[in-house]
Amino acid sequence: MSGDTVTHWIDGRPVPSTGQLIEVVNPATGAVVGTVPAGTAADVDAAVRAARAAFAGWSTTSLGDRAKIVERISEGLNARAEQIAQSITAEMGSPIAFSRAVQAGLPVAVSATSAAIARDFTWEEEIGNSLVVREPIGVVGAITPWNFPLHQIVAKVAPAIVAGNTVVVKPSEVAPLTAAILAEVVAEAGLPVGVLNIVHGTGPQVGEAIARHPDVDMVSFTGSTAAGKRVAVVASDTVKRVALELGGKSASIVLDSADIEEAARAGLAGAWINSGQTCAAWTRMLVPAAHHDRIVEALVAAAAAHPVGRPTDDATVIGPMSSELQRQRVTRYIEQGVADGASLVLGGASRVPGFEEGAYVQPTIFAHVDPDSVIAQQEIFGPVLSVISYGSEEEAVEIANNTIYGLSGAVFGDPDHALGIARKLRTGQVSVNDGQFNVLAPFGGYKQSGNGREFGRYGLEEFLETKSVQR
């Protein structure tokens, strides 16, 4: 890709900007790979008007017809999977193997399952003398992040539109290019004009305009906790529904009964997924004090399976951070960890040897980390793992739960015992012995990791109102 110019997509057609443009930069090379408009409140207003005008017709379109269109969207995304993967690798540095398997693969799966779930969903039920009806909420504003740029859009758009809503999307300005591919796919799938609208720009300009707009009935936001709080405040004036999927500081707990080498392998993979730029990453590993040093040795050995490289190389597991700004942020946290006395056993704040240019950071492991320290409490969003010792399982649970977050987590050990520990964690999802991600199960957080759920029937329900008719 080189220098793609992407426009807004409003009322079924591309709408170029007459104002400023935002450059999209390849973080591995520093080259500009595209531009998008710096949208304004006026652009949002036009998109909302289009979505509002389309709502009456789309919400009364038969469920079967809506589901067929979403299925065609899934097929269209699948047909363009390689183009999508290449775009995401260019715009935010996700390694190409990961882009193909996950960045391009998940949107296909989520859109297909959204259609299937809607077909089987209970839309009406009799409760006593009442008919309880589930109906689309209206115009949905979707504000999405850069780390899974297409997946996070589709995870909102697919269930929202199959439920009968219309949508205005603001992609991240860091990685916005695949939104243009989606616009082409939905048009080819026969989605009526105005049902999906895309407005590019920054959070303070476009995101806040969506959140405050009186004709937006709901906002679904994925991003940082700080930004999510701002969205909630801005949206509160119109008392619209707000669904938030925010940050995390998730813990993996290694029990005495765990296979140490396997826990190290899987735990490190869960910490460094997508080069560590994942809200649900297991960035704290809690280990029995008696096994601390052995587990650290196993982690250092497991790190060999995570080579840093150019994101276009098939063998690369860890690519650059999404931007130079993100590289600097991660580096500051690594420096903070050293300053606070954690033991640096792998990596560090210096540039990656051989990759002095580009937004690369060294994959880093800290041992003997204080559970109350900055690197153990704040979301770093890079390939940095903190190893924390515990004396008892009760202490491990207490440490795991002792953050403002509650998004994800893991437990390794005897299956029944590990399940019992998993039940004690105050977090939205827990993997037991590397149980795999399930797009039919709910995804979302406790505490300041957000509210609401995505995926499966839970994600569909987020975009519905409930009406009771007494007869």
**What H or E segment, with its residue span, contains residue 343?**
strand 343-346
C-beta of residue 229 within 8 angstroms of C-beta of residue 153: no
For residues 145 and 157, what is the distance between their CA atoms, to the nearest angstrom? Answer: 14
Token output for 253: 């707990």
Q: ∠ CA 324-330-331 to the nearest 5 degrees? A: 85
Q: Give which of 257, 255, 208 is closest to 228, Cα–Cα.
A: 208
Task: Return the SS3 of 12.
Answer: coil
**Bridge partners of 388?**
286
For residues 297 and 149, what is the distance between their CA atoms, to the nearest angstrom? Answer: 35
**What H or E segment, with its residue span, contains residue 366?**
strand 364-367
Q: Give which of 252, 266, 282, 255 is closest to 416, Cα–Cα.
A: 255
For residues 394 and 150, what is the distance between their CA atoms, to the nearest angstrom? Answer: 40
Number of H helices, E strands in the chain: 16, 21
Largest separation between any pair of C-alpha atoms in the chain? 73
Distances (CA, A) of 192 to 15, 112, 195, 346: 17, 19, 6, 53
Please enumerate in sequence order all residues whose Cβ is within 8 A of that of 309, keeping only pairs 6 or more positions apart, or say none.
95, 315, 316, 317, 318, 319
Please enumerate in sequence order all residues whose Cβ is within 8 A of that of 363, keeping only pairs 6 or more positions apart, or say none.
272, 276, 303, 306, 308, 318, 346, 347, 383, 384
At 268, phi and psi to the nearest 5? -70, -40
245 belongs to the catalytic site: yes
Residue with tokens 């999510």: 228
Give the strand order in the sheet containing 130-136.
Answer: 124-127, 130-136, 464-470
Q: Give which of 408, 412, 458, 402 is closest to 428, Cα–Cα.
A: 408
Catalytic residue among 208, 245, 393, 454: 245
DSSP conformation letters of 96-154: HHHIIIIITHHHHHHHHHHHHHHHHS--EEEETTEEEEEEE-SEEEEE--SSSHHHHHH
Q: Give which of 135, 112, 136 is closest to 189, Cα–Cα.
A: 112
Show which residues are catalytic.
245
